[in-house]
Amino acid sequence: MNEEKTKFKNLNDYAEDVYKCTKCGLCQSVCPVYKATGRETTVSRGKFTLLNGIINGKLKFNKKIAKNLELCLGCKACYDFCPSGISAEEIIAAARHESSKINGIGFIKKFILANFKSNFRLSLLKIGLDIYKTLGINNITDLISKVTGNLGKYLTLFNSQLKENTKYKKLKPVKPQSELNIVYFSGCINNYVNSSIKNAVLIVLEKNGFSVNIPKNFTCCGIAARSSGDFESFSQLAENNLKQIPDDVDYIITDCASCGSVWEFYPDFTEGKLKEKAKILAGKTININKFLVEREIYIPENSKISKKITYHDPCHLKRFQNVFEEPRKIIKQIQGIDFKEMKDADVCCGAAGTFCISQPEISKAISSEKAQNILNTKADIVCTSCAGCKIGLSQGLIEKNSSIPIYHPVELLAELYLKDEK
């Protein structure tokens, strides 16, 4: 047995579950990709029929099967609905890993993953984006986007991800200094693309008396690598991130659903002492929404946000981390807010990491339906807790010619604190 087999599960390890999942097909009713395409091979049963053939030696991984494996958002909606409790997302990731060794990953995904693995390349991206914004090129492209059809929509989508809702400001704490040792995993988007949510997290935590440690050598969480089947890269990123965290840490706080979900996977992709450390740290990782709700955080009584708000549940937060009531509680605590629950709030937004790049038409169809549900609430702001979902929601809203702003719940809190300070 080689090193790879001891570190990662392979497709044969899931043979029994794959066989079970070729039977009922109940997940058709909840699979967003199946609803958008109507194709049997997009739902778990269709994919697993092919994978069962591979396990039994009747089929081999080819490019056609590889393309069918791409048609999965990894949203785990089927898991919630599966009578056998089978994790199709986990099995498809393992199948993509084996397929990638034969068919490769594809140039675009390979390029994206290579950049996520390198903090140096991400730093160059940050420099480029800072120049882009400082010189006002984004304002020029915003004007161009209005007269360039589909290309304009991509420009609008790109620029929408760069708009900061929250600027950092050091505020006076309202609570005594906490003794908790907190590490904040801020993620790639916060560090290299748009620091708005990171600014908000720091404002809110510091206001409530918490000190925050952000190790300099954190890398990408690796979610895109794992989802693409690049288990080797995911393992390397996991090992690096685990090494940055002191043993005496009390909490690892994440604000992005995707970044938060991977810590549960780290033990399965590491070995020895690092594997044991990964198991311990998985139990100490907590989403910022949940962390704040578990404490009596400061809510100003004399400041308010008079807005109608709705909320979209990221798949990696609700289904992977069981966090869905907490962000709503944060939003509803704020004076002046009128909360409106949207239809199918927990249905995937359609972005799903690189899915929106590799399958743009299907992604847009899913995002468009989500956007309509948002518009039906007549909300002034839509909230979510995932950088990837922000892309999906923006994509859908742009297709509907809507410019409703997208906030993280913690950005609303930070805005409230800044108002209160004035």
Per-residue confidence (pLDDT) for residue 273, from 0 to 100: 94
Max CA pair span of the chain: 70
* pLDDT band, very low/low/confident/very high, at 84 (cuts 50, 70, 90): confident
Angle between helices 44-55 and 63-70 (to 10 degrees): 140
- Contact between 321 and 283 under an 8 Å Cβ cutoff? The reply is no
Q: Pick from 351, 355, 361: which is nearest to 150 by CA?
A: 361
CA–centroid distance for 88 within its chain? 18
Per-residue confidence (pLDDT) for residue 5, from 0 to 100: 47
Strands (E), 1-48: none
Higher-scoring residue by pLDDT: 421, 194: 194
CA geometry: angle at 181 spanning 177 and 186, to 5°? 105
Per-position DSSP letters for 290-351, written without gaps between them: HHHHTTT----SS-----EEEE---HHHHHHH---HHHHHHHHHSTT-EE-PPTTTTS--S-
* Count of beta carbons in the 10 Å neighbourhood of residue 29: 12
* pLDDT band, very low/low/confident/very high, at 146 (cuts 50, 70, 90): confident
Q: Which residues, 6+ apart, have CB-to-CB distance to 118 below 8 Å?
A: none
Q: Pick from 319, 198, 201, 200: which is nearest to 258 by CA?
A: 319
Query: pLDDT tens for residues 322-337?
Result: 999 999 999 999 999 9
Separation in Å, CA 108 to CA 66, 124, 127: 15, 19, 22
What's the rounded Cα separation, in Å, for the pair 242 and 236? 10
Query: pLDDT tens for residues 23-56?
Result: 777 888 899 999 999 888 888 888 999 999 999 9
Q: What domains can you pick out in the chain, each with its CATH number?
A: 3-104 (1.10.1060), 108-160 (no CATH), 182-293 (3.40.50), 308-421 (3.40.50)
The whole-number average pLDDT for the span 194-223 is: 96
* Residue environment code for 73-110, b if the CB has 16+ CB neighbours within 10 A, otherwise e: bbbbbbbeebeeebebbbbbbbbbbbbbeebebbeebe
* Count of beta carbons in the 10 Å neighbourhood of residue 200: 29
Strand partners, 251: 182
Q: Which residues, 6+ apart, have CB-to-CB distance to 130 below 8 Å?
A: none
245 HSE (CA, 13 A, CB side): 27
Query: pLDDT tens for residues 259-279?
Result: 999 999 999 999 999 999 999
The whole-number average pLDDT for the span 105-112 is: 86
What's the rounded Cα separation, in Å, for the pair 159 and 235? 32
- Contact between 69 and 47 under an 8 Å Cβ cutoff? The reply is yes
The percent of residues above 70 in pLDDT, for the chain, comes to 98
Per-residue confidence (pLDDT) for residue 358, from 0 to 100: 87
Query: pLDDT tens for residues 351-386?
Result: 998 898 889 999 999 999 999 999 999 999 999 999
* Residue environment code for 359-376, b if the CB has 16+ CB neighbours within 10 A, otherwise e: beebbbbbbbbbbbbbbe
Task: Count each helix (H run) and each strand (E run) in the chain, helices first.
Answer: 24, 7
- Contact between 246 and 113 under an 8 Å Cβ cutoff? The reply is no
- Beta strands 182-185 and 251-254, pairing class: parallel
What's the rounded Cα separation, in Å, for the pair 196 and 287? 17
What's the rounded Cα separation, in Å, for the pair 281 and 274? 10
